[in-house]
Structure 1
């Protein structure tokens, strides 16, 4: 797919993991009075909340002109989950450090 076709989806996936996943995870840990979760526990919780956005991967109609976009969105979503869980999303890692430092 061309970059002009995927630009908006890519930008959304740049923000959604930390704006939704890390924010909800931080609140969950705070409300449960867990102020020093391990990186792995934090990543797992972020991924758990981020996975709740999976219905968005089915937002486009199953019509031929959307076939490539649907595949792109599904792969992008799965890739972001992998990046979160492996520590390869720098924004999630920053959010973890901020949570540990400031709870």
Structure 2
């Protein structure tokens, strides 16, 4: 698969974790009055919300012509999940710091 064929999916996985996951997690903690969740709580909640969009990740047809992109999506999804839980997603860590500092 060429890079240009997966470019849009790459960009989506660069943005979705913090735009959806961390944003929704921040709102939930704010609404519950939790000003200082632990990093682990924040990461887990972020992942919980990101996983809610999994039907989109699985939306391409099971046709052979989509095999390569479906495999790439599955790889990137799992990679992003691991980065969130392990603290290696820098955007999620920034969002956590911002929330506990200004939440």
The TM-score with structure 2 as length reference comes to 0.97
What are the residue-to-residue correspondences of 1:1-103 with 2, within 5 Å?
A: 1-103=1-103
The runs of 5 or more residues in structure 2 that have no matched partner are none
The runs of 5 or more residues in structure 1 that have no matched partner are none
Q: What root-mean-square deviation, in Å, do the aligned CA atoms of Structure 1 and Structure 2 show?
A: 0.6
Q: Distance in 2 between matches of 1:14 and 1:60?
A: 19
Q: After superposition, give the CA deviation of every residue in 1:58-101 in whole Å (9 maximum; x if it has no partner).
A: 11111010011011111111111110000000000000000001
Q: Distance in 1 between matches of 2:90 and 2:39?
A: 13
Structure 1 residue 57: Cα displacement: 1.6
Q: Distance in 1 between matches of 2:17 and 2:29?
A: 17
Q: How many residues align?
A: 103
After TM superposition, the runs of 4+ consecutive aligned structure 1 residues lying more than 3 A away are none
